[in-house]
Amino acid sequence: MSNNRQNKSAWLGTALLAASAAAYSSGGFYTRLVDVDAWTMLFWRGLFGGLLLFVVLAYRERGRVVRAILDIGRDGLLTALCSAVATVCFLNALKLSSVADVLVIDATIPFVTAGMAWLVLGEREDRITLMATLAALLGVAVMTGFAGADGHLAGNLLAFAMAVLMAMVLVLIRRNPGISMLPAVGLSALLCALIVLPFARPLSVSGQELFLLGLFGTSQFGLGLLLLALGTPLVSATRGALIGVLQTPLGTLWVWLAFGETPAAATLAGGAIVLAAVVVDVAARRPVVPNQAGSL
């Protein structure tokens, strides 16, 4: 593949991942809109998200769905498992720790991804992206008031486990650019629903709540995973994780616009830092270096 074509692919990947972050960022909007318990919400979100992804898969493959699922191999199954467990870890981290702590740890995903991508893929990220990643982490820290509350060890450990698992998802997808990981992310959504089912009360929701949960699962979770699976193979794993940090300030923006929850000055300042970090990294686009497959 020529450098020109690679760079066009990188721009497409950047756009897809930015759209994925925008989709994921609507989570706070939906959680305020639908008044059901977290486990039930996660169940329906995973189920509807998974159904959307398999509908897209059926349309793309046209009779080769089983073959596409088999093609994901060990890495695809590991991607599905890591993504599903990361979602459950994130929920429980929010219960056992402060939102601020969890968001700051979540913002370390690009650093974890950079180290993992170097070990597994041989991808050495350039200084601009690493500096932009550091700036994004600082921005999230400003938004959350430099989190670090005492007594949240268990929750923070779960949040870090989530960060490691999501870094693995990005690296695994990046390691298999020639294989569609759409079946893997579809399986991860359904697996998430299965994991939380023993704690959920899916039949307790009303018709209106079910409709909103359907929107939540498709437009936030399913669409976010779809765009993530399509965009991640086209950029470096670290840059993909950096773009994903956009969901933190964007999530604040949607809640502000929809519910009038005016963010604090620190939140606006931190969000501006995150946005600036991503914009600078994208604007300083360098030639794409092909990744080298390694072993995990």
Residue 141, CA atoms < 13 Å, CB-side half-sphere: 9
Nearest to 238 by CA among 8, 73, 17, 26: 17
Report the C-alpha gap between 178 and 166 in whole angstroms: 20
Tell me the two tokens of residue 127: 């200084």
- Specify if 93 maps to a domain: yes
Burial of 120 (0-12, 13-18, 19+ CB in 10 A): buried
What pTM, to 2 d.p., does this model score? 0.87
- Specify if 230 maps to a domain: yes
* CA 207, 40, 186, 237 torsion-angle sign: positive
**Residue ranges making up the domain that contains 268:** 3-283
- Specify if 291 maps to a domain: no
Please give the pLDDT value at position 277.
Answer: 92
pLDDT in tens, 215-253: 999 999 999 999 999 999 999 889 899 999 999 899 888
Task: For the beta carbon of residue 119, count every other beta carbon within 10 angstroms.
Answer: 13
- Specify if 48 maps to a domain: yes
- Specify if 35 maps to a domain: yes
pLDDT bucket at 68, cuts 50 / 70 / 90: very high
Task: For the beta carbon of residue 28, count every other beta carbon within 10 angstroms.
Answer: 21
Tell me the two tokens of residue 48: 């509807």
Amino acid at 279: V
Please give the pLDDT value at position 81.
Answer: 96
Report the C-alpha gap between 283 and 176 in whole angstroms: 27
Q: How many domains does the chain fold into?
A: 1
- Specify if 145 maps to a domain: yes
- Specify if 288 maps to a domain: no
Nearest to 211 by CA among 9, 48, 63, 42: 48
- Specify if 269 maps to a domain: yes
